[in-house]
Structure 1
Amino acid sequence: MPSIQRHSLHAQASPVAGETHRAAGSAHWRVEDLDFSRIDRQAIEHSEDMFFLLMSASFIETGSDTYATNLAEHYAAYPEISAWLKDHWEAEELQHGRALRAYVEAVWPRFPWQQAYDSFFGEYSKLCTVEELYPDQRLEMVARCVVETGTTAYYHTLRELSDEPVLTELLGHIRNDEVSHYKHFLKYFKELQQEAPVGRARIAGALYGRLKELRESDSDVALRHVWAHKGDYFADSATRFEDMAQRIYELVSRRLPADLAVRMLLKPMLLPPRVEGLVRTPISRLATRVMSY
């Protein structure tokens, strides 16, 4: 097995079963390609759950550049990885933020998006530190696979919940981007493993550790700031913040594609196919329990 070269990472991304991905050389989607004038407002504007889910997602995606900068610096010794993080991963995450912002502002135009986002970012930016990353670069790649699994499952679920055509199209684009990001992180992890393997026990520990952290996710911070600035939107609701948050977490967790998530989570373990088949069911039960709010 060839060893990894710090200045020449070139292996192809391995596929995730059943997932679509962009063909080599195909153009990436653009925010400008989405026709927000076609939004079916009746299908979306009265949905309190989608209001909070989409607003909070727009905040998190817009703030992703802070985390991306830290991650690129973490992999500075690997120029190809660092360049991909800055030129592709960060750019696509920020595009998600622009598209989601454009969508929510089209549907709920009185929401003070910039003011609410600034409030959110003041708190969120303190959480995006280098200290949050695994010092071992191989294990941080494992952790990235967990995060991308979570975002893939999340946007897949939101797309399933959507009854509005423009939103469904947008969420499909974002979901496919998250699958592509996962494949890149998995590819880079495998290449780092070739250079200096880390044991499966440590890989499993990183998988489980980051999986547990998904429950204490950035969405908690974002939701609080959306709630604080919602103004007269859904003002007639007697729901408390805690009840709203619990309701939408349960809504999402009930619809999460557990089998897809487990297949993605098991890939970094690099298990033989027979062993992977044996452990998939118990891991699925554990993942569903941990990822449920």
Structure 2
Amino acid sequence: MARWDYKKDIDYNAIDMQKVRGDSFLFQLLTIASFIEITSDTYAKNLSEYYDDNPKAVQWLQEDWEKEEIQHGEALKRYVLHVWPEFPWQKAYERFLELYLPLCNTGSFQPTRGLEMLARMIVETGTSTMYRAFEDYAKSLDEPVLAGLTHYIYKDEVNHYSYFDRYFKYYNQSENLGRKEILQVIVQRLKEASSEDIEMGFQSIYEIQNDAVFDRSSYELFKKELNKLAKKHYPYSMAIKMTMQPLNLNKTLETTMVPVIRGAMKVLGI
């Protein structure tokens, strides 16, 4: 599959500025995403070291996954700076690195290669569904450039999920992981998705914009807006199906469980 190129395939000059310029929540959302995505080289290096037994996996991580993730960050950064050129993106990003890089190490990886591939599948579930929600939000704003950009990223993330799934199955041939072990990692990763990196991104923006110590109450307001976006635009059924896939459930059972889990999530306000 040919890789898209944000410099050629995204016409930033066609952005409808009136639709997005005054949307501070969108600014925060896209800026945080750009910080996280553009730092993927650190994770790619750590993953490559962890999977040094598998040259094919390392090649894919370095030549495809890393390059595509970084392009996502660069593309989002360019969108942010086109719409909000006064924002000191680099200065805020440097603050983000101060907060974020100490967390990026192999010490947080799962104890086996199969389980770590599983953890990456859950992460990619989060990113692919998140960008699908962003695309839907952009369409609701009637801003086609952002809708097109987030669609490209969404498709990449779904493809990444498929690769991590493939390598999870490869390692599971020898690890023979039970559903209990798989479910424990799924639950762990879902809990972690609350998510430190998003808060660090928001904190970096806040401190640079306000030249002040981080006020966490402002982040709580951002989270409320994020929840509103999720309730309107997040593809819950897709997320549930992707999360359940590693459990290898009977298709009839899986189909039955999706609306049950979705109903429980609504009751809990998720």
TM-superposed CA distance for 1:231, in Å, is 5.3
1:65-144 aligned within 5 A: 65-144=41-120
C-alpha deviations, 1:118-149, integer Å up to 9, x for none? Answer: 01011111111111110211111111111101
CA distance in 2, matches of 1:104, 1:221: 18
Residue type of the alignment partner of 1:139:
L
Provide the identity percentage: 36
Instruction: Provide the TM-score with structure 1 as the length reference.
Output: 0.84
TM-superposed CA distance for 1:217, in Å, is 3.7
For the residue of structure 1 that corresponds to 2:209, the secondary structure is: coil
Question: Where does the alignment leave 5 or more consecutive residues of structure 1 unmatched?
Answer: 1-25, 233-238
Residues 186 and 280 of structure 1: is their aligned pair in 2 closer, same or farther, counting only changes over 3 Å? same
C-alpha deviations, 1:65-90, integer Å up to 9, x for none? Answer: 11111111111111111111111101
Match of 2:7 in 1: 32
Residue type of the alignment partner of 1:272:
N
TM-superposed CA distance for 1:285, in Å, is 4.6
For the residue of structure 1 that corresponds to 2:21, the secondary structure is: coil
8 Å Cα contact 1:258/1:287 also seen in 2? no
Match of 2:242 in 1: 264
Match of 1:174 in 2: 153
Deviates more, 1:31-40 or 1:276-285: 276-285
Match of 1:56 in 2: 32
Match of 2:226 in 1: 249
Residues 118 and 288 of structure 1: is their aligned pair in 2 closer, same or farther, counting only changes over 3 Å? farther
Question: Where does the alignment leave 5 or more consecutive residues of structure 2 unmatched?
Answer: none
Aligned length: 261
8 Å Cα contact 1:262/1:280 also seen in 2? yes
CA distance in 2, matches of 1:62, 1:215: 20
Q: Which structure would you say has the larger RCO, counting Cα contacts within 8 Å and 6 or more residues apart?
A: 1
Match of 1:12 in 2: none
1:94-243 aligned within 5 A: 94-162=70-138, 163=141, 164-230=143-209, 241-243=218-220
TM-superposed CA distance for 1:245, in Å, is 1.9
8 Å Cα contact 1:56/1:223 also seen in 2? yes
TM-superposed CA distance for 1:227, in Å, is 1.6
Residues 135 and 287 of structure 1: is their aligned pair in 2 closer, same or farther, counting only changes over 3 Å? farther
Match of 2:262 in 1: 284
Residues 247 and 203 of structure 1: is their aligned pair in 2 closer, same or farther, counting only changes over 3 Å? same
TM-superposed CA distance for 1:193, in Å, is 1.5
For the residue of structure 2 that corresponds to 1:29, the secondary structure is: coil
8 Å Cα contact 2:25/2:222 also seen in 1? no
Instruction: Provide the TM-score with structure 2 as the length reference.
Output: 0.91
CA distance in 1, matches of 2:57, 2:265: 28
